[in-house]
Amino acid sequence: MEEYRVTFWPEGIEISVPAGTTLLEAAAEAGIALKSTCGGQGSCGRCVVRVKEGHVASEPARRKLSLPGEGYVLACRTKVLGDVQVEVPKDSRLDEHQVLLDDKQGASVESPCTLQPLCEVVSLELEPPTLTENASDWSRVQTALRRYFPETSIKVSLSTLQELAEALRQADWRVAVSLARLNGQAEVIRVTSANEKDIYGVAIDLGTTTVAVALVDLIKGRIIAQGGTYNRQSRFGDDVISRIIYATTTEQGLKELQEAALASINEVISELLKEKGISYQQVVAASLAGNTTMTHLFLGLTPKYVRLQPYIPTATEFPLVRAGETGLNIHPSAPVLVFPSVASYVGGDIVSGALFTGIAKSQELVLFVDIGTNGEMVLGNSDWLISCACSAGPAFEGGGITFGMRAMKGAIEGVEIDPATLEVKWRVIGRTKPMGICGSGLIDALAKLRRAGIIDRTGNFQEVPTPRLRRTDEGCEFVLAWKEESGNGQDIVLTEGDIKTLIRSKGAVFAGIMSLLKTVQLKLDTIDKIIIAGGFGNYLNIPNAIEIGLLPDLPLDRYIFAGNTSLKGAIEVLLCRDKWEEAREIGRKLTYLELSVGNLFMEEFVSALFLPHTDLNLFPSVASYAPKYAPGERVAG
Amino acid sequence: MEEYRVTFWPEGIEISVPAGTTLLEAAAEAGIALKSTCGGQGSCGRCVVRVKEGHVASEPARRKLSLPGEGYVLACRTKVLGDVQVEVPKDSRLDEHQVLLDDKQGASVESPCTLQPLCEVVSLELEPPTLTENASDWSRVQTALRRYFPETSIKVSLSTLQELAEALRQADWRVAVSLARLNGQAEVIRVTSANEKDIYGVAIDLGTTTVAVALVDLIKGRIIAQGGTYNRQSRFGDDVISRIIYATTTEQGLKELQEAALASINEVISELLKEKGISYQQVVAASLAGNTTMTHLFLGLTPKYVRLQPYIPTATEFPLVRAGETGLNIHPSAPVLVFPSVASYVGGDIVSGALFTGIAKSQELVLFVDIGTNGEMVLGNSDWLISCACSAGPAFEGGGITFGMRAMKGAIEGVEIDPATLEVKWRVIGRTKPMGICGSGLIDALAKLRRAGIIDRTGNFQEVPTPRLRRTDEGCEFVLAWKEESGNGQDIVLTEGDIKTLIRSKGAVFAGIMSLLKTVQLKLDTIDKIIIAGGFGNYLNIPNAIEIGLLPDLPLDRYIFAGNTSLKGAIEVLLCRDKWEEAREIGRKLTYLELSVGNLFMEEFVSALFLPHTDLNLFPSVASYAPKYAPGERVAG
């Protein structure tokens, strides 16, 4: 087949591809990461590039998209038919380092443990063998180690054994032995010369959208570097469902997704190691927390039945695997602790979060809420734990919202609306011109629109005197930022559809919370502590979230932000090995409430499709806000 | 091809087979297990059946066998030429619960165990999951298995888990689960539909020269096929030392040797599986016994320091590995039990032999001798065990001898010399013209040459009146077979050098035995039982071996042939799982005597370089043989 050259600018990277390759595929091959959240379906409109020169063929997008100007095309819908010069706008690129990892607010729920790392190092001065003292190399090491671990059986993996003879002799029998302590056994991971005593672990949060990695010094018990990137699986679809479909309907689909997740993780690991001047062999342990689908894909387990009723994962507890088996680019014998799941939609990320936040040891009644693409939540204390997952949708991550975007540079993260003039002010991440609006901005906007009387309690636009409210072919929309103010030359609007989507999302989360409470027959105000997790949680304005009915109307001092608890729990098991058994117990102990059984959730959901709720008694503090413009005639939509 | 009906009595089982099928094959197909330890060669005489009626053709047996009476035939030598009625005597049947392993000579040292195979199959009828009974696939299986293994932790490997979801659904939740029972754990190896209940294991004897494999039915507790081939490593050198040099001085040498061993083993396995119509996934367990170098090469461990003083192997106990890790072409999750070694030159083959022959449980004092390229021996009883290895060289396997060859078709295996005429008669394997001489022939020749006074006690040729003794540029030689009689057109001779080599070899073995005895301060006649192992052992003429001073001069009834005990021990651990821990204990318990330390061995060796020995008191029965020609003037050499 004919091959053509595609050159990407401003880098000037040139590659050769067969005729008919899409520009999205070509960019991936050139190592240029384009935004794409619809899996190349031509519906998200994020992979916009400009064809400067050359012969291409573009199929029309799936939905109406306004492209920035002449020559702009969707990379996923555009095929190469000759040599091409392509410019990749900054906005279409995945920003590599905008994954948020940690925050000061998380400090209050940290559960410090005595440093007792998963792996440790023992220095041995061995007597060299002689004709009369002729034990094998491994017996020699094992015997010496027994002084340190008298009660423990001491094992070694085949790959470590393969290196042992030379390692001992190169180190002239004075060695540092790295061991993992697991299940009452000590397992030798690595043998080096006596002066190489530093060992590290990596904690991995494998999210559907982003991957976060912490590099941990196992001797000092410290996080020494953190990093993140987008999950490269994104090009196969935005959410777990589209990934599952890809994995189970495409030949090699599961393998492709597994490799994409691995490539994302390995990329971050290798950057962190490079930054710190650490070799991959020094990383002797790993832990990984992810939702059930991500965990299945990472381990090469089919996620097919996670999607199909009755939603059954292959496993919720996973075998102890070695880095070499998984493809993680660290020491091949390093154990990889993969957090157990609870069910198909309550995964290891939630178990890790429950571990880190200490719910399972709490005397108080705790509600733990992780709002990502799904809303997952755990309610309970040291006696019992119950969890559920509601399909909140990706709205709070910017998905499915016309100008929605993740909390990154250019995102409106706060909105003010003057009650008198209905004029809008916004706060933008990175203090630049706004390009879109992220979750916290959306919550803010919804609260302020309602407070200003621009929308009513059902989310319908009201007849209000402002040019910002306008009607289009597809219904009404409200202009948050005029194109003269915006960073992309477009009016940034919230449409009627966006508002409905947001209300459904917030309604689902609140209905999940209520379903848990009703199942255990408790009232909202019995909750002593609400812990909010997820990257999202870092920017959430709690009063606004209460005002729109996303979160319960409880005193603000009961709320705690915990940040990326999935990653933090993963770090914890590396530093405190007893925590691993605790995590496994949480996985077993957590009852899963399947919301698709019975009417409970659906009834709660319908009741929650108002701002804040049909039952205003649930929101006493909110009910007192009177909208300036009383609900009146709807603007025709 | 014409098909005939064969009916076996007293069961009355009738099957249809093509003309020319042997009764042994037909019985196997009918599910009737006949004793057969020569592999259908017509030499063991165990598969005796009575043809009551019908048309058959019997070939004569390989050796003279007395059959019980009219109509009795060897099933392996009898072909079906019409419909046949066959009666199977009880004595010819394999007892279901006794692990019978090889030839009749081995019988007396067989250690029958109750059938308790390493792997077993459990049938499960699982309830399909529902929205309310939504445990994961693996939890469902695990819970159901717990009824069978209440006290045991139940594990699964990642690769098995990867197949689980589809396996359960394809079998419509009625499954057969194959599990390995090891270290107090049950590990799921394979999940299939409920009617696939047959599982198999392979026992492997990885020898320096040959590879032997037994395919074992783990349900019925029977060996169903055996096969062997040459170790393909041979092209890198004949003995372990040359292999070690290749492995450690050639780039990729270790990998090449590892792959060569694997290819040899996999070839035999695949032939056996093809022969029996078994798929590789049905083979769910393996065991492997080999000398220390072979074991290191199989596992990819460097054998470098096995060769260099002080002769240290990387390990003597090996991690439990999976077939997938090793490259064995059976079910990738199958456990591979690799027999522990004792030291660099006493390997897993000896531990396996010690296990099979039951030395470690014996009340009597047992000497176990395995004569291959090295002579390895174990002395002891249930209280203590000591072992050593002496560099006997490959002479008894035909190596280093001018016309030496292995015990195969065309090899002289027995020699007679007429004391009066000095004329020679020989017995050739396969009743063809002689091509060379194998180990048992060499021992015979040495004994007969001495008895006829053709050589003296030091092995030097004497002036005797026969044209067979002649002088060449390289010394004297004795013609065993004239070129007119031989199969290769050459005079088959034994040279002076050959005789020196043989004396050194037999001296080394005997010196090893004496060194063990002196170390524990015991006399020769305290040995209650001498077990001879090795392929060689099957053909050895004990009186001749004593006469040349290879083996101790003890009553013949103390001698037992055990055949390939390395393979037999490997089979045993597959059929009796408790034996594996016993094997590991033998490995730990066996004291290793390093013969290169001190002068003990060297002194014994020098004393043993006579026929039979310098100290004739050690060989009272031999000393009485007076050579016909008294030691006189040497023929110039």
pLDDT digits (tens, 9 = 90+) for A344-370: 999 999 999 999 999 999 999 999 999
The answer to whether the Cβ–Cβ distance between B164 and A314 falls below 8 Å is yes
Chain A hits for B132, CB-CB cut-off 8 Å, are: 594, 597
B579, containing H or E segment: helix B578-589
Cβ–Cβ below 8 Å for A139 and B343? no
Question: In A, which residues are within 8 Å of B299 by CB distance?
Answer: 158, 161-162
> What is the token pair recorded at A77?
């819908």
Cβ distance of B313 and A137 shorter than 8 Å: yes
Contact in structure between B82 and B55 (CB atoms under 8 Å): yes
CA distances in angstroms from A547 to A369, A516, A539, A615, B561, listed in the order given: 17, 21, 16, 13, 91
Please write the tens of the pLDDT for every residue from A456-479.
Answer: 999 999 999 999 999 999 899 999
- What are the C-alpha distances in Å from A61 to residues A45, B154, B560? 8, 52, 85
- Cβ of A139 within 8 Å of Cβ of B317? The answer is yes
> B114 pLDDT band (50/70/90 cuts)?
confident
- CB contact under 8 Å between B301 and A161, yes or no, is yes
Minimal Cβ distance to B136: which of A158, A300, A313: A313
| CATH number belonging to domain B3-94 | 3.10.20.30
pLDDT digits (tens, 9 = 90+) for B270-288: 999 999 999 999 999 999 9
pLDDT tops 50 at residue A536? yes
**Topology of B200-338 in CATH?**
Nucleotidyltransferase; domain 5 (3.30.420)
Alpha carbon distance A191, A440 (integer Å): 49
* 8 Å CB contact of A301 and B161: yes
What pLDDT is attached to residue B538?
56
Collapsed DSSP state (helix, strand, coil) of residue B597: coil
For the segment B477-491, what is each residue's pLDDT rounded down to a tens digit? 999 999 999 988 899
Nearest CB partner across the interface for A134, out of B136, B162, B594: B594
Q: What is the pLDDT of residue B528?
A: 96
User: Among A70-79, B64-73, B101-110, B496-505, whose mean pLDDT is lowest?
Assistant: B101-110
Write out pLDDT tens, residues B381-415: 999 999 999 988 888 888 889 998 877 788 898 89
Q: Find chain B residues with C-beta within 8 A of A594's C-beta.
A: 131-132, 134
Q: Is the pLDDT of residue B206 over 70?
A: yes
pLDDT at residue A442, rounded to an integer: 94
The tokens describing A208, both together, are 């559907």
Nearest to B165 among A314, A343, A592 (CB): A314
pLDDT over threshold 70, residue A446? yes
pLDDT at B140: 97
Of the two residues B44 and A408, the one the predictor is more confident about is A408
B627 versus B467: the higher-pLDDT residue is B467
Q: Picking from A462-466, B1-5, B608-612, which range would have the lowest pLDDT averaged per residue?
A: B1-5
For A312, the closest of B137, B325, B597 (CB atoms) is B137
Interface test with A, best of B127, B153, B161, B168 (most A CBs within 10 A): B161
Q: Do the two domains A3-92 and A119-193 of this chain adopt the same fold?
A: yes
Contact list in A for residue B163 (CB cut-off 8 A) is: none
Interchain pair A134, B321: CB under 8 A: no
Cβ atoms of A80 and A20 within 8 Å: the answer is yes
Q: What band does B60 get if pLDDT is binned at 50, 70 and 90?
A: confident
Mean pLDDT of A470-496: 93
Chain Cα centroid distance, residue B142: 39
Using DSSP's 3-state secondary structure scheme, residue A180 falls into strand
Quickly state the pLDDT bin for A337 (edges 50, 70, 90).
very high
Lowest-confidence pick of A175-179, A300-304, A332-336, A397-401: A397-401
Helix orientation angle between B565-575 and B348-357, rounded to the nearest 10 degrees:
70
- Among chain B residues, CA nearest to A165: B314
Tokens standing for residue A153: 């059986």
Q: What angle do CA B288, B293, B299 make, to 5 degrees?
A: 55
What the block records as the tokens of B14 is: 């009738």
- Structure confidence at residue B255 (pLDDT): 96
Nearest to A319 among B155, B311, B314 (CB): B155
Please judge whether B314 and A164 are an interchain contact, meaning their C-beta atoms are less than 8 angstroms apart: yes
> Do residues B10 and B87 lie in contact, with contact meaning Cβ atoms separated by under 8 Å?
yes
Question: Contact at 8 Å (CB) between B45 and B105?
Answer: no
Whole-number pLDDT of residue B406 = 78
Q: What are the domain boundaries of chain B?
A: 3-94, 119-193, 200-338, 357-393+503-618, 395-499
Model confidence at A326, pLDDT cuts 50, 70, 90, reads: very high
Tell me, what's the pLDDT at B62?
65
Type of residue found at B97: H
CA B207 vs CA A414, B224, B239, B347, B502: distances in Å: 76, 21, 10, 11, 22
Q: Which residue of chain A is at minimal alpha-carbon distance from B297?
A: A162
Indicate the angle between helix axes A565-575 and A578-589, nearest 10 degrees. Answer: 130
Under CATH, what is the fold of the domain B357-393+503-618? Nucleotidyltransferase; domain 5 (3.30.420)
- In this prediction the ipTM stands at 0.82
| pLDDT class of A273 with cuts at 50, 70, 90 | very high
Q: Decide if pLDDT at B63 tops 70.
A: no
- Report the pLDDT value the prediction gives residue A100, as an integer from 0 to 100: 36
* Angstrom distance (rounded) from CA B326 to CA A219: 34
Contact A402, A501 (CB under 8 A): no
Kindly tell me if the per-residue pLDDT of B637 is higher than 90. Answer: no
pLDDT at A303: 97
Partner residue opposite B132 with nearest CB, options A317, A321, A597: A597
Residue % of chain A over a pLDDT of 70: 92
**pLDDT at site A491:** 95
A188-213, pLDDT tens digit by residue? 999 999 988 999 999 999 999 889 99
Mean pLDDT of A244-263: 96
Report the pLDDT value the prediction gives residue A131, as an integer from 0 to 100: 92
A183 to chain B: which residues are within 8 Å by CB?
none
Question: Pairing relation of β-strands A200-206 and A283-290?
Answer: parallel
End-to-end CA distance of chain A: 51
* Shortest Cα distance, chain A CAs vs residue B35, angstroms: 39
Closest CB to A134 among B132, B138, B343: B343
Model confidence at B223, in pLDDT bands (50, 70, 90)?
very high
Tokens 């098909």 sit on residue: B3
Query: How distant is the alpha carbon of residue B328 from its chain centre?
Result: 20
CATH number for the region A119-193 comes to 3.10.20.880
pLDDT tens for each residue of A542-561: 889 999 999 999 998 899 88
Higher pLDDT, A406 or A256: A256
pLDDT tens column, B304-313: 999 999 999 9
Q: What is the distance, to the nearest Å, from the Cα of residue B50 to the centroid of all Cα atoms in its chain?
A: 31
CB of A178 closer than 8 Å to CB of A117: no
Per residue in A93-128, pLDDT (tens digit) is 765 333 333 443 333 334 456 788 999 999 999 999
| pLDDT for res B563 | 82
Backbone conformation region of residue A45, classed left if phi is above 0, alpha if psi is from -120 to 50, else beta: left
CATH number for the segment(s) A3-92 = 3.10.20.30
> What chain A residue is nearest to B165 in terms of C-alpha separation?
A314
Q: Which residues of B touch A304 (CB under 8 A)?
A: 165
pLDDT for B251 beyond 60: yes
**A27 near A15, Cβ under 8 Å?**
no
The lowest-confidence range among A86-100, A240-254, B537-551 is: A86-100
Confidence of residue A637 (pLDDT cuts 50, 70, 90): very low
The confidence band for A488, taking pLDDT boundaries of 50, 70 and 90, is: confident
Distance from CA of A515 to the nearest CA of B (A): 16
**What percent of chain B has a predicted confidence (pLDDT) above 90?**
67
Q: Do B594 and A132 touch (CB under 8 A)?
A: yes
